[in-house]
């Protein structure tokens, strides 16, 4: 009898609750500070850009938060997503390890981002919002929120990091097909954008700059427009835990339990989504699953950044949070994993990393694309460059098992497909891609560029 390779749940298995790690984390939360006063933020400050239900979820310590029925109905377009055992990849590697991947690229917008985009659009609609703003790096978040806003009849402005705007035009076309307006960032539409362009007319942009533009537009709209973020914040990671909750059921169907869970990290949403339910099991059931976050060497916030309070954006308009940061003025190299170029990381994950509850590794761009091509040629799915960082780490762990003879169970999150990234693959296949390591001299000056905050923080 042949071994099953696909573990498929039904619509009745779509989680009814999001999981909130704040209820079980042994690490106390760090304060979020007002960028102007440097005092703890108030709901009034946050309400300028977020609806109240999102604010309440951001600060909640409830273990489980019920998923609204309207959100679960929209999830049925693509959830539950499949768990697949990569038997052909295992065979090619000659490893005794069992490799499984959760395929979030099965969503209509092509990535895991829809899990929170639908939720955020829903809560904005209930609050009476008619227009929203956001930023996007590679375009996966912008695509997901564009789709979700159309579902709930909300207008959307997207500020897309300029280097990705130029590298990935098809993502822009998809957003525009869903009805969004898309602007290359930095733009001349905002004071933040004009300020950057005055300093550098050829600026490639960054997520920090794009966040500044989107926040500015929302904050100055007198409540007409609300802002939405696709990663970093607690409520975003919360919404993504549907991934890990489904995985727990599917690994049970497979009759195995992962020794390690791997996902790429830029701001932390897909890693948090798959890893946090497994961290709950580590904490509550004495499991020992390794939780491994994989970032690019070009933007190594966890592995080389400073753990300190920093602004969430370049123009110093977003709240100040404690995170592993490369500095809010960080301008990343134009690597092709555009979704992994943020200067910081989710504060929730940073606290867990600092406490030793999760791990982090950094990998290079060329090796990442090598792993992506290997995966595509064996498993038949073209992965997004972001997701390919997780594939690189999973292959590396499987090859370690080949050396030791250990039969480990490896689970990774394939957070999106790469159908709009073929230009990046062409550059790799043509031998034009180069690795880039964040320079040590830039690391040494981070502390000089951080905001001064009260000692109580």
Q: How many domains does the chain have?
A: 2
Domain check: are 250 and 396 in the same one? Answer: yes
Domain check: are 230 and 171 in the same one? Answer: yes
Local structure of 379: helix, strand or coil: helix
Separation CA 330–CA 142 (nearest Å): 21
Q: Is residue 454 part of a domain?
A: no
Domain check: are 221 and 258 in the same one? Answer: no
CA angle in degrees (0–180, nearest 5) for 7-239-384: 60
Domain check: are 340 and 424 in the same one? Answer: yes
In the chain, % helix, strand, coil (3-state, to 5) comes to 45, 15, 40
Q: What are phi and psi of 403, to 5 degrees?
A: -70, -40
Buried b (16+ CB within 10 A) or exposed e, 387-421: bbbbbbbbbbbbeebeeeeeebbbbbbbbbbbebb
Q: Of 219, 234, 249, which residue constitutes the final position of a domain?
A: 234
Q: Of 187, 207, 234, which residue constitutes the final position of a domain?
A: 234
- Bridge partners, residue 227, by sequence: 133
C-beta of residue 330 within 8 angstroms of C-beta of residue 343: yes
**Strand segments (E) across 186-278:** 225-227, 260-264
Domain check: are 49 and 78 in the same one? Answer: no
- 315: which 2 tokens? 């123009």
Domain check: are 155 and 52 in the same one? Answer: yes
- 3-state SS of 52-88 is HHHHHHHHCCCCEEECCHHHHHHHCCCCCCCEEECHH
CATH number at residue 359: 3.40.50.1100
Put the strands of the sheet holding 290-296 in their side by side order. Answer: 6-7, 83-85, 98-103, 409-414, 260-264, 290-296, 359-363
Q: Is residue 358 part of a domain?
A: yes
Print the domain residue range for 62: 17-36+45-67+113-234
Domain check: are 220 and 247 in the same one? Answer: no
Q: Is residue 307 part of a domain?
A: yes
Domain check: are 26 and 135 in the same one? Answer: yes
Q: Is residue 147 part of a domain?
A: yes
Domain check: are 266 and 320 in the same one? Answer: yes
Q: Of 234, 258, 280, which residue constitutes the final position of a domain?
A: 234
Separation CA 299–CA 266 (nearest Å): 8
- 244: which 2 tokens? 């890990």
- Bridge partners, residue 322, by sequence: 309
Domain check: are 118 and 74 in the same one? Answer: no
Domain check: are 164 and 79 in the same one? Answer: no
Q: Is residue 1 part of a domain?
A: no
Separation CA 15–CA 17 (nearest Å): 6
Domain check: are 264 and 207 in the same one? Answer: no
Separation CA 70–CA 97 (nearest Å): 40
Q: Is residue 455 part of a domain?
A: no
Show pLDDT as tens, one digit a residue, over the chain (457 residues): 346 699 999 999 999 999 999 999 999 988 999 988 999 988 888 888 999 999 999 999 999 999 999 999 999 999 999 999 999 999 999 999 999 999 999 999 999 999 999 999 999 999 999 999 999 988 999 999 999 999 999 999 999 999 889 988 999 999 999 999 999 999 999 999 999 999 999 999 988 899 999 999 999 998 899 999 999 999 999 999 999 999 999 999 999 999 999 999 999 999 999 999 999 999 999 899 999 999 999 999 999 999 999 998 888 888 899 999 999 888 777 666 566 888 999 999 999 999 999 999 999 999 999 999 999 999 999 999 999 999 999 999 999 999 999 999 999 999 999 999 999 999 999 999 888 888 888 888 999 889 988 875 4
Cα-Cα-Cα-Cα dihedral sign, residues 119, 123, 126, 130: negative
**What does the CA dihedral 168, 75, 274, 157 come to, rounded to 10 degrees?**
40
């Amino acid at each position: 009898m042949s071994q099953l390779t696909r573990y498929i749940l039904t619509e009745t298995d779509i989680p009814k609750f999001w999981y909130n790690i704040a209820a079980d984390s042994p690490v106390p939360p760090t304060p979020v500070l007002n960028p102007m006063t440097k005092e703890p933020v108030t709901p009034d400050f946050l309400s300028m850009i977020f609806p109240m239900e999102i604010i309440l979820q951001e600060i909640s310590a409830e273990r489980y938060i019920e998923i609204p029925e309207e959100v679960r109905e929209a999830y049925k377009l693509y959830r539950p997503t499949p768990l697949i055992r990569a038997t052909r990849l295992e065979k090619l590697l000659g490893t005794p390890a069992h490799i499984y991947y959760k395929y979030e690229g099965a969503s209509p917008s092509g990535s895991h981002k829809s899990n929170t985009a639908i939720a955020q659009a829903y809560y904005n609609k209930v609050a009476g919002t008619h227009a929203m703003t956001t930023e996007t790096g590679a375009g996966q978040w912008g695509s997901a929120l564009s789709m979700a806003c159309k579902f709930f009849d909300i207008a959307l402005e997207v500020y897309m990091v300029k280097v990705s705007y130029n590298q990935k035009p098809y993502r822009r076309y998809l957003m525009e097909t869903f009805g969004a307006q898309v602007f290359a960032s930095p733009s001349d539409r905002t004071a933040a954008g004009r300020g950057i362009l005055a300093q550098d007319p050829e600026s490639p942009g960054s997520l920090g700059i794009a966040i500044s533009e989107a926040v500015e537009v929302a904050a100055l709209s007198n409540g007409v427009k609300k802002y939405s973020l696709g990663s970093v914040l607690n409520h975003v990671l919360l919404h993504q835990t549907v991934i890990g909750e489904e995985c727990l059921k599917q690994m049970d169907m497979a009759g195995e339990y992962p020794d390690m869970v791997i996902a790429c990290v830029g701001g932390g949403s897909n890693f948090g989504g798959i890893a946090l339910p497994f961290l709950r099991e580590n904490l509550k059931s004495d499991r020992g699953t390794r939780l491994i976050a994989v970032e690019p060497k070009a933007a190594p916030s966890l592995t080389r950044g400073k753990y300190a309070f920093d602004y969430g954006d370049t123009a110093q308009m977003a709240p100040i949070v404690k995170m592993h940061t490369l500095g809010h003025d960080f301008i990343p190299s134009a690597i092709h994993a555009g979704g992994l170029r943020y200067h910081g990381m989710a504060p929730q994950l940073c606290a867990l990393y600092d406490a030793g509850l999760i791990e982090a590794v950094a990998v290079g761009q060329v090796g990442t694309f090598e792993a992506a091509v290997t995966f595509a040629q064996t498993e038949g799915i073209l992965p997004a460059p972001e997701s390919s960082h997780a594939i690189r780490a999973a292959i590396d762990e499987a090859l370690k098992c080949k050396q030791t003879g250990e039969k480990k169970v490896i689970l990774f999150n394939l957070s999106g497909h790469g159908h709009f990234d073929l230009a990046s693959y062409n550059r790799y296949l043509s031998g034009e891609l180069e690795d880039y390591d964040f320079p040590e001299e830039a690391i040494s000056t981070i502390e000089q560029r951080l905001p001064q905050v009260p000692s109580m923080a």
